[in-house]
Amino acid sequence: MDNELITFALTTLAGYFAIANPISATPIFIALTAGDKPAVRRAIARNAVLTALFVVVLFSVAGKVIFEMFGITMAALRIAGGVLVAIVGYEMLQGRSSSVQVPHQVEGEPAEDIIRAQLSIAVSPLGMPMIAGPGTIATAVGFAANPGFLYTAISIAAFGVISAATYIMFMQAPRIVRFLGETNLTVVTRLMGLIVATIGVEMVLTGAGDAMRDFMQSVQMLPMPRP
C-alpha cells in the first residue's frame, strides 16, 4: 500500500471516529437500555453497530444514486434525523422512556413482542441517526467519491473498525452502570437527554441552514428580468 492510500486510510479512520464517536455514544446507549436484560442489551449493541455499518456500506456504494433517485437532499436528511433525535432527548430529559425508546408493556402482550420492540431501538435511534447520522453518511459519500473501488473499500473498512470499537464500548456499559450507581445513573440519563436533544436541534438548524443556502443559490441562478 503506497503512502497515498495509507494517508487516506488514516484520514477516513479519524473522520469516522470524530463523527460517530464511540465514547460519546456509550452514555446514550446506557440511558436507552437502562433496565434491559444483559442478553437484550447485547443484542441491541450488536444490531446497532450492524445497522450503522450497513447504512455506511449502502451509501458508500450507492449514495449518489439513492439521493438522485428519491430526490433526497442532505439538508432534508439532517432535519428529519434531528427531529427524531430531539424527541428522544426530550423524553430522556423528562426521565421517562418514549415509544421511540422502550415500549410500554401491554397486558396480555407476548414477551417475544416486547423484546422485539425493545430491539427496535438498535435501528433507530441508535444505529441511525446516532451512530450513522447525516454527518456520517455525508462523510461516507464524500470518501467514496474518490476514483477507484479500493478507496471505497478502505472507507468501509475504516468504519468497520469504528463499529467494532463502538460495540466494545457498549459492552462495557454494565461496568459503567455499577460504577455510577442508581442515583448517578439517573443524573447521567437526564444529562444525556439534554445533550441528545441539543444534538437533534443542532442537526435541524444545520439542515435548515443548508436548505436556505441551497434556496438562495437557486434563486441567484434564475434569469433576471430586463429593466
Per the listing, cell 464500548 goes with: 169
CA 125 – CA 123 distance, rounded (Å): 6
Q: What is the CA 160 to chain-centroid distance, rounded? A: 14
**67/41: higher pLDDT:** 41
Q: What is the pLDDT of residue 216?
A: 87
CA 153 – CA 168 distance, rounded (Å): 23
pLDDT, average across residues 213-224:
80
The band of 99, judged by pLDDT with boundaries at 50, 70 and 90, is very low
Cis amide bond preceding 110, omega within 30: no
Of 12-21, 89-98, 158-167, 191-200, highest mean pLDDT: 158-167
What is the widest separation between alpha-carbon atoms in the chain?
74
Q: What is the pLDDT of residue 96?
A: 54
Q: What is the pLDDT of residue 154?
A: 93
Work out the number of other CB atoms within 10 angstroms of the CB of residue 13. 17
pLDDT, average across residues 128-145:
83
With 50 as the cut, is the pLDDT of residue 26 above it? Answer: yes
pLDDT tens-digit map of 105-131: 444 445 566 667 767 888 888 888 888
What is the chain's alpha carbon radius of gyration, rounded to the nearest angstrom? 20
Work out the number of other CB atoms within 10 angstroms of the CB of residue 184. 11
Over 60-92, what HEC string results? HHHHHHHHHHHCCCHHHHHHHHHHHHHHHHHHH
Amino acid present at 25: A
CA 72 – CA 63 distance, rounded (Å): 10
Q: What is the pLDDT of residue 182?
A: 64
pLDDT, average across residues 17-22:
81
The C-alpha cell that represents 210 in the structure block: 443548508
Cis amide bond preceding 103, omega within 30: no
With 60 as the cut, is the pLDDT of residue 98 above it? Answer: no
pLDDT, average across residues 147-156:
89
**97/55: higher pLDDT:** 55
pLDDT, average across residues 53-78:
86
Q: Is the overall model pTM greater than 0.75, yes or no?
A: no
Q: Point out the least confidently predicted range of 25-29, 64-68, 189-193.
A: 189-193
Q: What is the CA 125 to chain-centroid distance, rounded? A: 7
With 60 as the cut, is the pLDDT of residue 196 above it? Answer: yes
CA 141 – CA 64 distance, rounded (Å): 7
